[in-house]
Amino acid sequence: MVKLEVKNVKFRYTSVPILRDVCIELAESEMLGVVGPNGSGKSTLLRCIDRILTPQEGCILLDGQDIKEMHLMDLAKKMAYIPQSTTQVFPASVFDTVLMGRRPHIGWRSSEEDIEKVLETLKLLNLEDLAMSDIKSLSGGQQQKIFIACALAQEPKILLLDEPTSSLDIRHQLEVLDIIKNSVVEKGISAIIAIHDLNLAARYTDRIIMMNGGHIYAAGVPSSVLTPENINHAYGVEVDVINHNGKLYVLPIRPVAKM
Protein backbone atom coordinates (compact mmCIF):
# COMPACT_ATOMS: atom_id res chain seq x y z
CA MET A 1 0.00 0.00 0.00
CA VAL A 2 0.99 3.51 -0.64
CA LYS A 3 0.43 6.44 1.59
CA LEU A 4 0.03 9.87 0.08
CA GLU A 5 0.46 13.07 2.01
CA VAL A 6 0.07 16.54 0.59
CA LYS A 7 1.72 19.02 2.91
CA ASN A 8 1.16 22.77 2.84
CA VAL A 9 1.19 22.93 -0.94
CA LYS A 10 1.16 26.37 -2.50
CA PHE A 11 1.10 26.90 -6.24
CA ARG A 12 0.78 29.90 -8.50
CA TYR A 13 1.16 30.37 -12.26
CA THR A 14 1.62 34.12 -12.04
CA SER A 15 1.32 36.25 -8.96
CA VAL A 16 -2.17 35.01 -8.17
CA PRO A 17 -2.00 31.87 -6.05
CA ILE A 18 -4.06 28.93 -7.27
CA LEU A 19 -3.38 26.71 -4.28
CA ARG A 20 -2.85 28.25 -0.85
CA ASP A 21 -1.65 25.89 1.80
CA VAL A 22 -3.37 22.65 0.85
CA CYS A 23 -2.94 19.62 3.08
CA ILE A 24 -4.41 16.21 2.36
CA GLU A 25 -3.81 12.72 3.61
CA LEU A 26 -5.11 9.89 1.50
CA ALA A 27 -6.12 6.72 3.30
CA GLU A 28 -5.64 3.26 1.87
CA SER A 29 -8.23 2.02 -0.58
CA GLU A 30 -10.07 5.28 -0.41
CA MET A 31 -12.07 7.12 -2.98
CA LEU A 32 -11.52 10.80 -2.33
CA GLY A 33 -13.71 13.32 -4.12
CA VAL A 34 -12.50 16.86 -4.76
CA VAL A 35 -15.33 19.30 -5.36
CA GLY A 36 -15.47 23.04 -5.65
CA PRO A 37 -16.46 25.76 -8.09
CA ASN A 38 -14.59 26.41 -11.34
CA GLY A 39 -11.17 27.87 -10.71
CA SER A 40 -11.01 26.68 -7.12
CA GLY A 41 -7.82 24.72 -7.81
CA LYS A 42 -9.06 21.14 -8.23
CA SER A 43 -7.21 20.37 -11.45
CA THR A 44 -4.10 22.21 -10.33
CA LEU A 45 -4.05 20.12 -7.17
CA LEU A 46 -4.19 16.87 -9.15
CA ARG A 47 -1.44 18.08 -11.48
CA CYS A 48 0.76 18.98 -8.54
CA ILE A 49 0.22 15.57 -6.98
CA ASP A 50 1.39 13.82 -10.16
CA ARG A 51 4.33 16.24 -10.59
CA ILE A 52 3.01 17.61 -13.84
CA LEU A 53 3.23 20.94 -12.05
CA THR A 54 5.72 21.64 -9.31
CA PRO A 55 4.39 23.58 -6.32
CA GLN A 56 6.40 26.60 -5.21
CA GLU A 57 6.04 25.67 -1.57
CA GLY A 58 5.16 22.58 0.39
CA CYS A 59 5.74 19.00 -0.57
CA ILE A 60 3.99 15.84 -1.63
CA LEU A 61 5.11 12.66 0.06
CA LEU A 62 4.56 9.19 -1.29
CA ASP A 63 5.35 6.64 1.41
CA GLY A 64 7.31 9.37 3.12
CA GLN A 65 9.42 10.11 0.03
CA ASP A 66 9.21 13.51 -1.64
CA ILE A 67 7.98 12.98 -5.19
CA LYS A 68 10.34 15.69 -6.42
CA GLU A 69 13.21 13.33 -5.71
CA MET A 70 11.62 10.32 -7.36
CA HIS A 71 12.48 9.08 -10.81
CA LEU A 72 9.68 9.87 -13.29
CA MET A 73 9.25 6.21 -14.21
CA ASP A 74 9.04 5.16 -10.56
CA LEU A 75 6.39 7.77 -9.96
CA ALA A 76 4.50 6.53 -13.02
CA LYS A 77 4.44 3.04 -11.56
CA LYS A 78 2.66 4.39 -8.48
CA MET A 79 0.37 7.08 -9.84
CA ALA A 80 -1.66 7.52 -12.99
CA TYR A 81 -3.33 10.77 -13.94
CA ILE A 82 -6.12 11.05 -16.49
CA PRO A 83 -6.65 14.61 -17.69
CA GLN A 84 -10.09 16.06 -18.22
CA SER A 85 -9.88 15.88 -21.97
CA THR A 86 -7.46 13.67 -23.79
CA THR A 87 -7.14 14.27 -27.47
CA GLN A 88 -5.40 11.58 -29.40
CA VAL A 89 -3.82 13.24 -32.44
CA PHE A 90 -2.77 10.23 -34.45
CA PRO A 91 -4.72 7.04 -35.12
CA ALA A 92 -4.15 4.24 -32.62
CA SER A 93 -5.95 1.00 -31.92
CA VAL A 94 -7.64 0.56 -28.56
CA PHE A 95 -5.23 -2.26 -27.81
CA ASP A 96 -2.18 -0.10 -28.47
CA THR A 97 -3.66 2.74 -26.42
CA VAL A 98 -4.12 0.48 -23.42
CA LEU A 99 -0.69 -1.09 -24.00
CA MET A 100 0.73 2.42 -23.70
CA GLY A 101 -0.19 2.22 -20.03
CA ARG A 102 2.52 -0.41 -19.66
CA ARG A 103 5.12 2.19 -20.66
CA PRO A 104 6.59 2.60 -17.16
CA HIS A 105 7.05 -1.15 -16.88
CA ILE A 106 8.64 -1.95 -20.21
CA GLY A 107 11.62 -1.17 -22.38
CA TRP A 108 11.45 -0.90 -26.14
CA ARG A 109 9.68 -4.20 -26.64
CA SER A 110 6.43 -5.18 -25.03
CA SER A 111 6.51 -8.61 -23.40
CA GLU A 112 3.96 -11.37 -23.37
CA GLU A 113 3.11 -10.37 -19.81
CA ASP A 114 2.24 -6.86 -20.89
CA ILE A 115 -0.07 -8.20 -23.58
CA GLU A 116 -1.79 -10.39 -20.97
CA LYS A 117 -2.19 -7.37 -18.72
CA VAL A 118 -3.86 -5.46 -21.52
CA LEU A 119 -6.21 -8.34 -22.27
CA GLU A 120 -7.08 -8.59 -18.60
CA THR A 121 -7.85 -4.89 -18.39
CA LEU A 122 -9.94 -4.92 -21.54
CA LYS A 123 -11.94 -7.79 -20.12
CA LEU A 124 -12.38 -6.11 -16.77
CA LEU A 125 -13.79 -3.03 -18.44
CA ASN A 126 -15.83 -4.97 -20.96
CA LEU A 127 -14.01 -3.38 -23.87
CA GLU A 128 -13.02 -6.54 -25.65
CA ASP A 129 -15.22 -5.97 -28.66
CA LEU A 130 -13.51 -2.66 -29.31
CA ALA A 131 -9.96 -3.97 -28.96
CA MET A 132 -8.96 -3.49 -32.58
CA SER A 133 -11.00 -0.36 -33.34
CA ASP A 134 -9.35 2.98 -33.94
CA ILE A 135 -9.81 5.02 -30.81
CA LYS A 136 -10.69 8.11 -32.84
CA SER A 137 -13.76 6.37 -34.26
CA LEU A 138 -15.28 5.85 -30.80
CA SER A 139 -17.68 7.98 -28.78
CA GLY A 140 -16.56 10.20 -25.94
CA GLY A 141 -17.82 7.74 -23.34
CA GLN A 142 -16.03 4.82 -24.90
CA GLN A 143 -12.85 6.85 -25.23
CA GLN A 144 -12.98 7.83 -21.58
CA LYS A 145 -13.29 4.17 -20.59
CA ILE A 146 -10.27 3.36 -22.73
CA PHE A 147 -8.17 6.07 -21.11
CA ILE A 148 -9.19 4.64 -17.75
CA ALA A 149 -8.21 1.18 -19.02
CA CYS A 150 -4.85 2.63 -20.03
CA ALA A 151 -4.38 4.08 -16.55
CA LEU A 152 -5.38 0.79 -14.91
CA ALA A 153 -2.95 -1.15 -17.13
CA GLN A 154 -0.31 1.14 -15.68
CA GLU A 155 -1.06 -0.67 -12.38
CA PRO A 156 -0.83 2.43 -10.23
CA LYS A 157 -1.45 2.49 -6.50
CA ILE A 158 -3.22 5.82 -6.84
CA LEU A 159 -5.51 6.96 -9.63
CA LEU A 160 -5.92 10.67 -10.21
CA LEU A 161 -8.92 11.58 -12.32
CA ASP A 162 -9.85 15.05 -13.46
CA GLU A 163 -13.56 15.26 -14.24
CA PRO A 164 -13.81 11.73 -15.62
CA THR A 165 -17.53 12.08 -16.25
CA SER A 166 -17.87 15.66 -17.41
CA SER A 167 -18.74 14.98 -21.05
CA LEU A 168 -20.52 11.66 -20.67
CA ASP A 169 -24.16 10.67 -20.77
CA ILE A 170 -25.82 9.48 -17.59
CA ARG A 171 -25.23 5.80 -18.29
CA HIS A 172 -21.55 6.24 -19.10
CA GLN A 173 -21.15 8.40 -16.00
CA LEU A 174 -22.36 5.56 -13.82
CA GLU A 175 -20.39 2.92 -15.74
CA VAL A 176 -17.14 4.86 -15.53
CA LEU A 177 -17.50 5.56 -11.83
CA ASP A 178 -18.48 1.93 -11.18
CA ILE A 179 -15.31 0.83 -12.93
CA ILE A 180 -13.25 3.14 -10.76
CA LYS A 181 -15.05 2.14 -7.59
CA ASN A 182 -14.61 -1.56 -8.38
CA SER A 183 -10.92 -1.12 -9.08
CA VAL A 184 -10.50 0.68 -5.80
CA VAL A 185 -12.27 -2.10 -3.93
CA GLU A 186 -10.81 -5.08 -5.78
CA LYS A 187 -7.25 -3.94 -6.38
CA GLY A 188 -6.97 -2.05 -3.13
CA ILE A 189 -5.84 1.12 -4.84
CA SER A 190 -6.91 4.65 -3.98
CA ALA A 191 -8.41 7.28 -6.20
CA ILE A 192 -8.66 11.04 -6.09
CA ILE A 193 -11.42 12.34 -8.32
CA ALA A 194 -12.04 15.95 -9.15
CA ILE A 195 -15.74 16.07 -9.95
CA HIS A 196 -18.38 18.69 -10.56
CA ASP A 197 -21.47 16.57 -10.05
CA LEU A 198 -22.15 16.70 -6.34
CA ASN A 199 -24.68 13.87 -6.47
CA LEU A 200 -22.16 11.53 -8.09
CA ALA A 201 -19.56 12.67 -5.58
CA ALA A 202 -21.91 11.89 -2.71
CA ARG A 203 -22.77 8.52 -4.16
CA TYR A 204 -19.30 7.20 -5.01
CA THR A 205 -16.74 8.77 -2.75
CA ASP A 206 -15.72 7.80 0.75
CA ARG A 207 -14.58 11.27 1.64
CA ILE A 208 -14.89 14.66 0.04
CA ILE A 209 -12.77 17.75 0.19
CA MET A 210 -14.44 20.94 -0.89
CA MET A 211 -12.13 23.55 -2.30
CA ASN A 212 -12.76 27.24 -2.60
CA GLY A 213 -10.30 29.86 -3.82
CA GLY A 214 -7.31 27.56 -3.45
CA HIS A 215 -8.15 26.57 0.11
CA ILE A 216 -9.68 23.44 1.45
CA TYR A 217 -12.94 24.82 2.74
CA ALA A 218 -14.38 21.62 4.17
CA ALA A 219 -13.35 17.98 4.37
CA GLY A 220 -14.93 14.79 5.63
CA VAL A 221 -17.54 12.21 4.76
CA PRO A 222 -19.99 13.35 2.06
CA SER A 223 -22.84 14.01 4.47
CA SER A 224 -20.72 16.33 6.58
CA VAL A 225 -19.29 18.27 3.63
CA LEU A 226 -22.26 18.54 1.31
CA THR A 227 -24.42 20.69 3.56
CA PRO A 228 -26.56 23.58 2.32
CA GLU A 229 -24.33 26.02 4.25
CA ASN A 230 -21.08 24.78 2.73
CA ILE A 231 -22.48 24.71 -0.79
CA ASN A 232 -23.95 28.15 -0.36
CA HIS A 233 -20.62 29.45 0.83
CA ALA A 234 -18.43 27.84 -1.81
CA TYR A 235 -20.66 28.03 -4.87
CA GLY A 236 -23.14 30.76 -4.01
CA VAL A 237 -26.06 28.49 -4.67
CA GLU A 238 -29.02 27.82 -2.48
CA VAL A 239 -29.69 24.09 -2.32
CA ASP A 240 -31.75 21.46 -0.62
CA VAL A 241 -29.92 18.36 0.51
CA ILE A 242 -32.25 15.41 0.77
CA ASN A 243 -31.96 11.78 1.66
CA HIS A 244 -33.51 9.31 -0.71
CA ASN A 245 -33.17 5.54 -0.20
CA GLY A 246 -30.17 6.12 2.04
CA LYS A 247 -28.37 8.25 -0.59
CA LEU A 248 -27.71 11.93 -0.39
CA TYR A 249 -28.92 14.24 -3.14
CA VAL A 250 -28.23 17.89 -3.71
CA LEU A 251 -31.07 19.78 -5.35
CA PRO A 252 -30.15 23.24 -6.56
CA ILE A 253 -32.71 25.99 -6.03
CA ARG A 254 -31.17 29.26 -7.20
CA PRO A 255 -27.91 31.17 -7.28
CA VAL A 256 -27.54 33.61 -4.41
CA ALA A 257 -24.90 35.97 -3.11
CA LYS A 258 -22.11 33.96 -1.45
CA MET A 259 -22.44 33.90 2.30
Partner 1 sequence: MPELKINGTEKSAEIKAEYKKFIGRKIMFIFATTILVIIIAGIAATLGPHQISITEVYSIVWYGIPKILQNLDFILTHSFKDFSLTYFTKEESIIWFLRLPPIVMAILAGIGLGIAGTTMQGVVRNPLASPYTLGISSAAGFGAALAIILGAGLATGQNIIIAVNAFFFALCSSFIIYGISRYKGVSPETMILAGIALMYLFSAMTGVLQYFGEEKAVAEVVYWMFGSLARASWDKLFVMFIVLIICIPLIMLKSWDLNALSAGDERAKSLGVNVDRTRVVCFMLASLVTAGVICFTGTIGFIGLVAPHMCRMIIGGDNRYLIPASGLFGAIVLLSASILARPPIAPSFIPVGLVTAFLGVPMFLYLILRRRKEFW
When binding is defined by CB under 8 A, the residue of 34, 80, 158, 176 that contacts partner 1 is 80
Report the nearest approach of partner 1 to the CB of residue 127 (Å): 10
Q: Which amino acid is at 53?
A: L
Site for partner 1 in 138-177 (CB under 8 A): 147, 150-151, 154, 160
From 23-31, 93-101, 184-192, 229-237, give the range in contact with partner 1 by CB under 8 A: 93-101
The runs of H, that is alpha helices, within the chain are 42-49, 72-78, 94-100, 112-124, 140-153, 170-187, 198-204, 222-225, 228-235
Cα torsion angle, 3, 79, 77, 117, sign = positive
When binding is defined by CB under 8 A, the residue of 97, 144, 183, 205 that contacts partner 1 is 97
Report the nearest approach of partner 1 to the CB of residue 122 (Å): 7
108 contributes a contact to partner 1 by CB under 8 A: yes
Report the nearest approach of partner 1 to the CB of residue 12 (Å): 16
Contact 211, 34 (CB under 8 A): yes
Q: What is the DSSP string of 49-108?
A: HTTSS--SEEEEEETTEEGGGS-HHHHHHHEEEE-S-----S--BHHHHHHHTTGGG--S
Binding site for partner 1 (CB under 8 A): 47, 50-52, 72-77, 79-83, 86-93, 95-97, 100-101, 103-104, 106, 108, 115, 119-120, 122-123, 128, 131-132, 134, 136-137, 147, 150-151, 154, 160
